Every structure is written in structure tokens, then in C-alpha cells.
């Protein structure tokens, strides 16, 4: 899971009711973003105007009859993208080092964490999206460039889904306090991954911290309203404990260190000015941040014992419907039935189990070697893994210009070992240096293990770090760069980590398959359980029976832990399991239809060129690749 999944939740949850613990950066608030920053000529259109300097006495080419429609669409897309970015400071800062250079107006970007939704803001959003859809429907898709058609299809899917989920009957269904990525944890995540690039950023951070009290207060009011309406889903004890952990470290906390220490890296400041800024930042933390966390802890302690849904979304009045929309949103589909998702994942589960059993019969020794954990990758640090894979992946991935990266050790306060996290990736700004950043668990004693290798290739190369570097370098649309359908983001990274096993010298094909099958079976089992809890209404005992029936021997206590994770984090495993199965099936289709003509490089290029868009767009890109080779 990438750090950006945590770091962007706060920004997104204010604008769209998407209850999930792995929110990703699915910019449901964008509703129309695009990368055209000149608000005139659409990206990718090369024949909008007749060339000047006609010297061969031939008639100039006929004007493109579709140019006007393309320009109107480009203006529409950029207007919506500009609106969505400017209304959210945290998003603007994460994506852009220089918003003005990208056509944004810094004066329109209020430095603030924002407020939690309320009746007025939710009604305002409904009105906005309805008007947006009406305006969008006026465009003729057939007249747009190929890139714009990708934008059009993505927008149609996104706005339609937002409108479904913003129905009045789903007001207050979005959950802000669902551990482990509850609101207070996400504020901390934003602070610890924030880049201070210049003196203005320091001033803005002082202001930003000062807005935390209003953000927390409105979020508490939102949770109280949920409790009153019997729509609240949380774990009071976990939220209270999380707040206590933050408060226990106080001014020695990692978040304070991350922000204050960056002042020394800002160029052009006198020593006196640096000390003044450090003092002001610390004062802001002391006056605004920690008192807000204390208030949240106090309020949740008072709310504890009141109404709280301890089941899945299916237990709420329209919970199964809401969950179905959320699942479709994460998957990049539209109104696909949950029954179909269930059947597809169950079919994949059964086929993988059968393949696993056949592998065991055919090569029992290899499977047992994998399970013993005896295989040593030969790597002794994270840099060795990344540098090696960065070269080997060029055999089946398109080469890009810049894959520079920086590895930082995570602070003990991040508790990566407790969270079973070896590494995580921080997404770079769209207009920045393109330096990829990864934080690693310094206490990981199994760097040479297959598990660590798979995690690094998921988060690093050829996974997320390469994926985002490719998007930034090759996709000429900021909207498509920032859309990031969860199932495609994580599905691609899981696909990458499995195929990266092919780069390991000495790992047999059977051992690689064992590692892949083992991971896929677990992902799918939990994804199916997620559907059972949040759509079909399974209780703990029904969940335990299902998991035991498919081969997991679990106690009631362990099952309760799994149940609580999945009820509080709906569609948690889906992006990894279903997302990967979707990508892998596309590859099998291409290999089957093309035979010897199949090229892993060209397939991966087609997949990456589709960006993290809805499934229909991705399928079209793969079909175009297949048809171009036949």
C-alpha cells in the first residue's frame, strides 16, 4: 500500500462520500480534471490549425472540422480540473510545486484542511454534479482526439458514479473514523509526508496547522450526527488509542520533527529567520494540533457506548446499495452487480487452488522450499533490489528517462513493524524533480526474503515508483495522471511484483508459482469475505465458517479481527486481488490471441498508456494493441 493512499484521504473525503480505508487518490472530487494547461488546444491534437509558411504552392490543409469541439472539450476539462485542485490546498500542494506555472491561480487556493461535510455542503455538491453532467452531455465524443476520448469515458464513469453515491439517502454514509486509517491517523500521515520546498511553504504550513481545530471540530460534529442517525461505523477504542499515541509523544512526535527539520533545508534564510520559523511552527503544533487531538480523544470517549454499527455496510438501511456503488467506483466499473464480482472472484479462487494443488502434486519439494522460507534472494539492502530490478525490467517494460529515487529510513514512531510494513512509496509531484521517494522499515531483518523482494517490487520497480514515473513522463493529461482507479493502481503493482519474480536468479518456476498462488489465494479469500460482510450481511460466525470451509483454520478471536478490519475498511483487498486478476486476464488474452507475436514490452506499454482509468478504457487500449499486431 502506498503512502499516498493515506496522505490524500483527508483531502478527498471532504468532497466525496467514499467510505474506504484504502482511499487512494481517486479524485472523486475532480469530476473533470485534465492536463491541458493552456485552456485552448486539447492535448494530443496536432492538426488544429493550418501551418504557416506554405512554400510549395500546394493548398493548405483543410481545417479540422472537429477542432472547435476538441477545443471546447479541452476548456471544459481544464476548467473542472482547475476548480477541483484550487478548492483543495492539500491536493494542490501534493501535485504541484508551482501551481501558477500549470495554469492554476494560487490566490484561489485557500490554505486549509477544510471542513467535514454537512447538510448544506452535501446539497451544494449534488447540485454542482448534476449541472456538471448536463454540461458534459453536450459534447460529441466522436469528434474528440483519442486521448480526449479516454478523458471523456473516464469522466462519464466518474461523474455518473459520484451522482449515484451522492443521492440524499446516502448522506452521512461516508465514514471518517475507521481505523487503522482514521482521521487523526491521516492528519499525522499528511504531516509526516509533507514537502516544504520554500519559504512560502513554511508560512503556509503555519496557517495549515492553525486550521486543524476547525477541521477536527466539524468532523466530530459529523460523527455525532452519524451516531444520531444510527449510521456511525467506528472502533472507539482504536481511535482513542491512536489519539493517545499521538499525544504521548507531544512535541517530540515524528510529525513535529518532519515539519520543523525541513526549515533547515530551505535556501535563502538567515539563521535568525530559521529559528523564528521553527518557533512559530512549534507554537502552531502546541496551540492547534495537539489540543485538537486531545479534543477528539475526549469526544470519542464521551461518545463511546452510544450507537455504533458493529456489522458491515449491509447492516445500514441502504448499506448494501452504497457498498455496491463503492465497489464499482474502486473497480472502475459502473453498476456491475456484486453477484458478478463474487462469482468472478470465486471462480478465480477455485482455479488458483486447483493449480496450486496440481503444482504440489507435480513438485512437492519446490512448494515446501518456498514455504520453508529458505530461498535467499542474495540482496542485503533495499538499494540493491531496486538497482538490480531497474535494469532487469527493461527486458519487458518500456524505458523511461528518469528513475532516480531516494530511500529514507522510517522513524520508529511510524511503527511499521507493528503494521507489518516493510516499505512504502510516496508519490512525487506532477511538476517536480520526479525524484521517487521510498521509506523503509529499518527493523526489517528479512531483506533477503522473497516476501521483502515482492514488497519492494510492488512499491518500487516495476511497481508504483515506475508506474507513476511513466504516467508523469508519458500521459499528456493531468486528469488521467491523477484519476487513479484503485483497482488499476494496485492491480498493476501486484501484477508487477508477481512477474518480477522472473528476475530472481536461482528461483525455480515452481517456487515462483508457489509464491504467486499463495498470495493470490489469500487476497481473493479476504476480498470475497469483504463482499460477504458488507453486501451479504455475514456475521462473525458466518465469516468464520466460510474461511474455514475454504481451508483457513481460524479461531473465533482471529476471525473477529479479520471481520473488524473488513467491516471498517470496505473494499480493502479488492484493489489487490480483483485488480490483479483483471490485469492478468488481459495479459492471458493478449498472449493467447497473438501467440509468438506477443511482446511483454508492448503489452505493458499499452497497459501503462491507459493509465489508471476505468476498465472500459483499459480494455480498449489492450484491444488496440492486439489488433495492431495481428
What nine digits make up the cell of 334? 459502473
Closest CA to 156 of 324, 337, 333: 333
Rounded CA-CA distance 140/46 in Å is: 19
- CB-based contacts of 298, cutoff 8 Å, min separation 6: none
State the DSSP string of 443-483: T---TTSHHHHHHHHHHSTTTHHHHHHHHHHH---HHHHHH
Does position 38 have pLDDT exceeding 70, yes or no? no
State the DSSP string of 490-503: HHHHHHHHHHGGGG
Same domain for 293 and 200, yes or no, is yes
Does position 50 have pLDDT exceeding 70, yes or no? no
Rounded CA-CA distance 278/475 in Å is: 39
Helix (H) or strand (E) segment spanning residue 409 = strand 405-409
pLDDT at 414: 80
pLDDT at 384: 96
Helices (H) and strands (E) in the chain, counts: 27, 3
Residue showing cell 492553525 = 210
Rounded CA-CA distance 125/208 in Å is: 24
pLDDT at 244: 97
Out of 134, 153, 173, a domain closes at 173
What nine digits make up the cell of 492? 498493476
CA distance between the termini of the chain: 37
pLDDT at 58: 64
Kindly state whether residue 141 falls inside one of the protein's structural domains: yes
Q: Could you give the dihedral angle defined by the CA atoms of residues 505, 507, 509 and 511, in that order, rounded to the nearest 10 degrees?
A: -160
Structure confidence by residue, pLDDT tens digits, 481-492: 999 899 999 999
Structure confidence by residue, pLDDT tens digits, 138-194: 999 999 999 999 999 999 999 999 999 999 999 999 999 999 889 999 999 999 999
DSSP state of 61: P
What nine digits make up the cell of 244? 493517545
CB atoms under 10 Å from CB of 508, counted, come to 15
Does position 30 have pLDDT exceeding 60, yes or no? no
Kindly state whether residue 586 falls inside one of the protein's structural domains: no
What nine digits make up the cell of 84? 477541483
Same domain for 145 and 287, yes or no, is no
What nine digits make up the cell of 345? 472472484
The number of folded domains in the chain is 4
In contact, 586 and 622? CB cutoff 8 Å: yes
Kindly state whether residue 592 falls inside one of the protein's structural domains: no
Does position 122 have pLDDT exceeding 80, yes or no? yes
Does position 2 have pLDDT exceeding 70, yes or no? no
In contact, 617 and 610? CB cutoff 8 Å: yes
In contact, 246 and 254? CB cutoff 8 Å: no
Q: 538 by DSSP, 3-state: which?
A: coil
pLDDT at 13: 33
Same domain for 184 and 165, yes or no, is no
- CB-based contacts of 250, cutoff 8 Å, min separation 6: 290
Return phi, psi of residue 510, to 5°. Answer: -65, -40
Q: How confident is the model at residue 57 (pLDDT cuts 50, 70, 90)?
A: low
Using a 10 angstrom Cβ sphere, with 0-12 exposed, 13-18 middle and 19 or more buried, the burial of residue 541 is exposed
Cα 440 from chain centre: 19
Structure confidence by residue, pLDDT tens digits, 200-234: 999 999 999 999 999 999 999 999 999 999 999 99
In contact, 509 and 499? CB cutoff 8 Å: no
Average the pLDDT over each of 227-231, 374-378, 399-403, 412-416 and give the range with the smallest value.
Answer: 412-416
Does position 478 have pLDDT exceeding 70, yes or no? yes
Closest CA to 532 of 336, 230, 317, 327: 327
Does position 431 have pLDDT exceeding 80, yes or no? yes
Same domain for 365 and 382, yes or no, is no
Average the pLDDT over each of 45-59, 243-257, 325-339 and give the range with the smallest value.
Answer: 45-59
Q: How confident is the model at residue 439 (pLDDT cuts 50, 70, 90)?
A: confident
Closest CA to 176 of 130, 124, 123, 114: 114
Q: 516 by DSSP, 3-state: which?
A: helix
Same domain for 365 and 386, yes or no, is no
Return phi, psi of residue 436, to 5°. Answer: -85, 140
Residue showing cell 488496440 = 624
Same domain for 465 and 527, yes or no, is no
What nine digits make up the cell of 15? 468532497
Q: How confident is the model at residue 437 (pLDDT cuts 50, 70, 90)?
A: confident
Closest CA to 19 of 238, 335, 323: 323
pLDDT at 200: 96
Out of 541, 575, 609, a domain closes at 575
Does position 3 have pLDDT exceeding 90, yes or no? no
Residue showing cell 496536432 = 46
Same domain for 165 and 181, yes or no, is no
In contact, 119 and 111? CB cutoff 8 Å: no
State the DSSP string of 104-162: --GGG---S------HHHHHHHHHHHHHHHHHHTTS-GGGS-HHHHHHHHHHHHHHHHH
Rounded CA-CA distance 430/26 in Å is: 15
Closest CA to 383 of 446, 443, 459, 456: 456
Per DSSP, what are the bridge partners of residue 437? 406, 426
Sign of CA dihedral 7, 9, 10, 15: positive
Same domain for 391 and 456, yes or no, is yes
Average the pLDDT over each of 234-248, 256-270, 377-391, 414-428 and give the range with the smallest value.
Answer: 414-428
Helix (H) or strand (E) segment spanning residue 424 = strand 423-426
Q: What is the mean pLDDT of residues 308-333?
A: 98
Same domain for 207 and 244, yes or no, is yes
Does position 577 have pLDDT exceeding 50, yes or no? yes
Same domain for 286 and 433, yes or no, is no
Same domain for 341 and 383, yes or no, is no
What nine digits make up the cell of 140? 460529441
Kindly state whether residue 611 falls inside one of the protein's structural domains: no
pLDDT at 583: 98
Cα 329 from chain centre: 12
CA angle 184, 188, 193 (to 5 degrees): 150
Kindly state whether residue 315 falls inside one of the protein's structural domains: no
pLDDT at 180: 87
Instruction: List % helix, strand, coil for the chain (3-state, nearest 5).
Output: 65, 0, 35
pLDDT at 59: 65
CB atoms under 10 Å from CB of 261, counted, come to 11
Kindly state whether residue 614 falls inside one of the protein's structural domains: no
Q: What is the mean pLDDT of residues 506-520?
A: 96
Kindly state whether residue 59 falls inside one of the protein's structural domains: no
Rounded CA-CA distance 312/539 in Å is: 8
Does position 56 have pLDDT exceeding 80, yes or no? no
Per DSSP, what are the bridge partners of residue 424? 439
pLDDT at 52: 38
State the DSSP string of 341-400: HHHHHHHHHHHHHHHHHHHHHH-HHHHHHHHHT-------SHHHHHHHHHHHGGGTS---
CB atoms under 10 Å from CB of 109, counted, come to 20
In contact, 558 and 566? CB cutoff 8 Å: no
Q: How confident is the model at residue 62 (pLDDT cuts 50, 70, 90)?
A: confident
More confident residue, 30 or 94: 94
Mean pLDDT of the chain: 89
Kindly state whether residue 529 falls inside one of the protein's structural domains: yes
Same domain for 433 and 470, yes or no, is yes
Out of 526, 544, 575, a domain closes at 575
In contact, 485 and 571? CB cutoff 8 Å: no
**Residue-range definition of the domain harbouring residue 344:** 320-369+511-575
Amino acid at each position: 500500500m502506498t503512502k499516498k493512499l493515506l496522505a490524500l484521504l483527508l483531502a478527498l473525503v471532504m468532497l466525496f462520500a467514499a467510505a474506504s480505508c484504502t482511499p487512494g487518490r481517486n479524485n472523486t472530487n475532480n469530476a473533470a480534471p485534465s492536463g491541458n494547461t493552456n485552456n485552448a488546444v486539447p492535448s494530443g491534437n496536432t492538426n488544429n490549425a493550418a501551418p504557416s509558411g506554405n512554400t510549395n504552392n500546394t493548398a493548405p490543409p483543410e481545417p479540422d472540422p472537429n477542432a472547435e469541439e476538441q477545443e471546447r472539450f479541452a476548456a471544459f476539462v481544464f476548467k473542472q480540473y482547475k476548480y477541483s485542485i484550487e478548492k483543495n490546498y492539500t491536493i494542490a500542494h501534493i501535485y504541484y510545486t508551482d501551481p501558477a506555472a500549470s495554469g492554476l491561480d494560487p490566490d484561489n487556493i485557500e490554505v486549509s484542511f477544510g471542513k467535514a461535510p454537512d447538510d448544506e455542503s452535501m446539497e451544494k455538491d449534488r447540485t454542482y454534479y448534476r449541472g456538471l453532467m448536463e454540461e458534459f452531455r453536450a459534447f460529441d465524443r466522436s469528434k474528440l482526439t483519442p486521448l480526449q476520448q479516454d478523458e471523456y469515458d473516464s469522466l462519464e464513469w466518474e461523474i455518473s458514479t459520484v451522482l449515484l453515491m451522492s443521492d440524499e439517502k446516502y448522506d452521512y454514509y461516508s465514514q471518517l473514523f475507521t481505523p487503522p486509517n482514521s482521521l487523526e491517523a491521516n492528519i499525522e500521515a499528511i504531516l509526516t509526508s509533507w514537502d516544504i520546498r520554500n519559504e512560502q511553504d513554511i508560512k503556509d504550513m503555519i496557517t495549515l496547522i492553525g486550521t486543524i481545530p476547525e477541521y477536527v471540530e466539524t468532523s466530530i460534529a459529523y460523527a455525532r450526527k452519524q451516531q444520531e442517525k444510527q449510521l456511525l461505523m467506528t472502533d472507539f477504542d482504536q481511535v482513542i488509542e491512536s489519539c493517545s499515541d499521538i499525544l504521548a509523544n507531544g512535541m517530540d512526535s515524528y510529525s513535529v520533527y518532519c515539519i520543523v527539520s525541513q526549515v533547515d533545508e530551505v535556501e535563502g534564510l538567515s539563521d535568525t529567520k530559521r529559528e523564528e520559523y521553527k518557533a512559530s511552527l512549534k507554537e502552531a503544533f502546541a496551540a492547534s494540533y495537539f489540543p485538537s487531538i486531545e479534543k477528539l480523544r475526549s469526544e470519542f470517549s464521551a461518545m463511546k457506548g452510544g450507537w455504533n454499527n458493529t456489522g458491515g455496510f449491509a447492516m445500514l438501511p441502504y448499506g448494501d446499495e452504497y457498498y455496491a456503488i463503492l465497489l464499482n467506483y474502486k473497480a472502475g466499473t459502473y453498476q456491475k452487480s456484486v453477484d458478478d464480482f463474487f462469482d468472478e472472484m470465486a471462480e478465480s479462487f477455485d482455479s488458483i487452488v486447483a493449480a496450486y494443488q496440481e503444482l504440489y502434486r507435480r513438485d512437492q519439494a519446490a512448494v515446501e522450499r518456498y514455504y520453508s522460507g529458505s530461498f535467499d534472494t542474495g540482496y542485503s539492502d533495499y538499494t540493491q533490489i531496486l538497482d538490480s530490478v531497474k535494469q532487469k525490467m527493461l527486458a519487458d517494460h518500456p524505458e523511461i528517462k528518469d528513475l532516480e529515487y531516494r530511500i529514507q529510513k522510517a522513524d520508529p514512531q511510524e511503527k511499521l513493524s507493528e503494521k507489518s510494513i516493510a516499505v512504502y512509496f510516496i508519490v512525487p509531484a506532477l511538476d517536480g524533480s520526479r525524484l521517487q521517494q521510498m521509506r523503509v522499515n529499518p527493523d526489517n531483518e528479512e531483506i533477503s526474503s522473497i516476501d521483502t523482494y515482492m514488497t519492494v517490487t510492488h512499491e518500487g520497480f516495476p511497481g508504483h515508483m515506475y508506474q507513476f514515473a511513466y504516467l508523469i513522463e508519458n500521459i499528456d493529461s493531468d486528469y488521467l495522471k491523477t484519476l487513479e482507479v484503485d483497482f488499476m493502481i494496485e492491480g498493476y503493482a501486484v501484477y508487477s511484483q508477481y512477474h518480477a519474480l522472473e528476475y530472481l536468479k536461482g528461483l525455480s518456476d515452481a517456487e515462483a508459482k508457489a509464491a504467486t498462488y499463495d498470495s493470490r489465494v489469500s487476497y481473493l479469500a479476504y476480498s470475497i469475505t469483504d463482499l460477504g460482510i458488507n453486501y451479504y450481511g455475514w456475521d462473525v460466525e458466518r465469516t468464520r465458517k466460510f474461511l474455514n470451509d475454504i481451508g483457513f483454520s481460524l479461531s473465533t478471536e482471529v476471525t473477529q479481527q479479520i471481520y473488524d478490519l473488513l467491516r471498517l475498511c470496505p473494499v480493502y483487498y479488492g484493489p489487490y486481488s480483483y485488480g490483479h486478476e483483471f490485469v492478468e486476464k488481459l495479459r492471458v488474452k493478449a498472449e493467447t490471441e497473438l501467440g509468438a507475436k506477443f511482446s511483454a514490452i508492448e503489452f505493458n506499454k499499452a497497459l501503462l498508456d491507459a493509465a489508471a482509468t476505468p476498465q472500459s478504457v483499459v480494455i480498449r487500449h489492450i484491444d488496440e494493441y492486439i489488433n495492431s499486431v495481428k
